[in-house]
Chain A
Amino acid sequence: MRFQLNFKSGKPVYLQLVDQVKSAAASGAVQPGDPLPSIRPLAEELRVNRNTVAKAYAELENQRVIETIAGKGCFVRASSSPFRKDVRLKLVAETMDDAVVQAHHLQVGKAEFVRLAEERFDAFEDKRARAVHE
């Protein structure tokens, strides 16, 4: 998978890596069992500290998105959230709160926001369907 970092986004670099792996796993661009690049080459390619990559991988492992197999590296896990439904909803709500704040700053109203959310959801499902067919 390819990573794209943006130091200007204000989002911690390790979180950008976490989110990109999660979205690749969610969209089917990477499949359960796929290996992730090892830490040093990825750090050198992205021109970041290895600590940053290690922190991202630790966080992904923590969130059970990937697993580390000793001596072999990191691999994408089959997605099965260990959390109960209410906890999962709360996690999504927190992410949406950020988007709502952003919308507020950019003067995007509620109706437009909801329409955009639907559109993004459809786009995501399209992408996922395509990835599964490939």
Chain B
Amino acid sequence: MTSPTSVIEINQLVRRYGRTDAVNGLDLQVEPGRCYGFFGRNGAGKTTTIKCLLNLLRPTGGEVSVFGMNPARNEVAVKSRLAYVPDYVAFYPWMTVRDTLDYFASFRARWNRDTERALIDQFRLAPAQKTSHLSKGQRTQVALVAAVCAEPDLLVLDEPTSGLDPIVRREFIQTVIGAYQDADPGQRTVFVSTHLISEFEGLIDEFTIIENGRNVLTLSADVARERYRKIHARFAVEPDRLEFGGARVLRQRGREIELVVNGNTDDVMNRLRAGSLESVTTESLSLEEIFVATLQPGGAVA
């Protein structure tokens, strides 16, 4: 079922390459105005899914809709309302930055010159420079400027920060998404795929973790941080045997134990207290730690 409000709706998507299932029964739904994270390891099926959204690939099975439309049947209607920045950006090498942005603008119904000027300044891009002389980071910056200035209803970013140096990537993602959502935030949706999750910690409202072409976890970021916690406990005497159903023991050394729980903190705390507990602290896992805990061999923390 396609609800009229969803920007992206994916039902049981399957995409095969020969005998390999790149995507195998994926479900996902993105509401307007969200900053939605699509997390997975290399080869998990992220880029294949995005290509199905953009009609760069035809699904083998299942349904994909963008703005309530089928991207294969309404290609122009869908693409005119979104902007896509792939992980590898290529421009015409003989064009300058200025030419390139004008070229992009010529395909668009709208182009925000103020945003363009502000971002060019902020990134210290030289408009007269040939794109063939840009670094990888600068090329990505130009692509992001082009995507944001068109003021689309949906911004699709595929690994936007991979291959960039850490200082640049932290601040420019924040700047770009801030500029994009500055006007009409309720309608400006971001869909970002990445495996560099820590950079997006505060930006993500909701996320899906994909593995082997299937969604393994979909949660809002706040709920995720509330549910997944790390408990560090120290006992007065070394406990002989500890049983923790539903929690994963990260390490146990002598009197100290560290475990990860998922939603059953109280339960585990009560069991810890049955021993000679000396001190205990809990903290939330970061989204990146949740990602690791979910995909670690041995399965998700139940």
- Residue numbers of A with Cβ under 8 A of B are 5, 7-14, 40, 43-44, 46-52, 54, 105-107
B282 at the interface (CB under 8 A from A): yes
B284→A9 contact, CB < 8 A: yes
Which 5 residue pairs of A and B lie closest in terms of their CB atoms, listed nearest first? A48-B202, A12-B222, A10-B284, A8-B283, A47-B202
- In the complex, how many residues of chain B place their beta carbon closer than 8 angstroms to a beta carbon of chain A? 29
**Chain A neighbourhood of B282, CB < 8 A:** 10
B280 interface hit (Cβ, 8 Å)? yes
Bound Cα distance A48, B222 (Å) = 12
- Nearest CB on A from B172, distance (A): 11
Task: Decide: B202 and A40 in contact? CB cutoff 8 A.
Answer: no
Which of B178, B201, B277 sits near A50, CB closer than 8 Å?
A: B178
Contact B182 A40, beta carbon cutoff 8 Å: yes
Residues of B whose CB lies within 8 Å of any CB of A are 33-35, 170, 174-175, 177-178, 181-182, 185, 201-205, 221-222, 225-226, 229, 269, 273, 277, 280, 282-284, 286
**A106 and B281 alpha carbons, distance in the complex (Å):** 8
Q: Are A49 and B226 in contact (CB under 8 A)?
A: no
Contact, CB under 8 Å: B226 / A10: yes
Contact A9 B185 (CB under 8 A): no
The complex places the Cα of A13 from the Cα of B226 at a distance, in Å, of 10
CA distance A43 to B35 in the complex (A): 13
Which chain A residues lie closer than 8 Å to B201 at the CB level?
Answer: 7, 47
Q: How far is the CA of A50 from the CA of B202 in the complex (A)?
A: 10
A7-B201, A49-B203 are known contacts. Are A44 and B175 too (CB-CB below 8 A)? Answer: yes
Interface contact B174-A44, CB-CB below 8 Å: yes
Verify A51–B178 contact, CB threshold 8 A. no
Q: In the complex, what residue of chain A is closest to B198 when comparing beta carbons?
A: A7
Residues from chain B with a CB closer than 8 A to the CB of A7 are: 201-202, 225, 284, 286
Q: List residues of chain A with CB within 8 A of the CB of B33.
A: 51
A52–chain B nearest beta-carbon distance, Å: 7
CB distance from B237 to the nearest CB of A (A): 16
A14 to B222, CA, bound (A): 9
Q: In the complex the two chains form, what is the Cα distance from A43 to B178 in whole Å?
A: 8
CA distance A11 to B226 in the complex (A): 6
CB distance from B240 to the nearest CB of A (A): 21
Nearest B residue (CB) for A10? B284
Q: Using A49-B35, A51-B185, A54-B185 as known contacts, say yes or no to A10 and B203 having CB atoms under 8 A apart.
A: no
Q: How far, in angstroms, from A10 to B273 measured CA to CA in the complex?
A: 21
Expressed in whole angstroms, the Cα–Cα distance for A47 and B178 within the complex equals: 10
Q: Which of A5, A9, A50 contacts B181 (CB 8 A)?
A: A50
By the criterion CB–CB under 8 Å, are A51 and B202 in contact?
no
CB pair A10 B229 closer than 8 Å: yes
CB of B202 within 8 A of CB of A13, answer yes
Taken together as a complex, chains A and B put the C-alpha atoms of A25 and B157 apart, in Å, by 40
Residues of B within 8 A of A11 (CB): 226
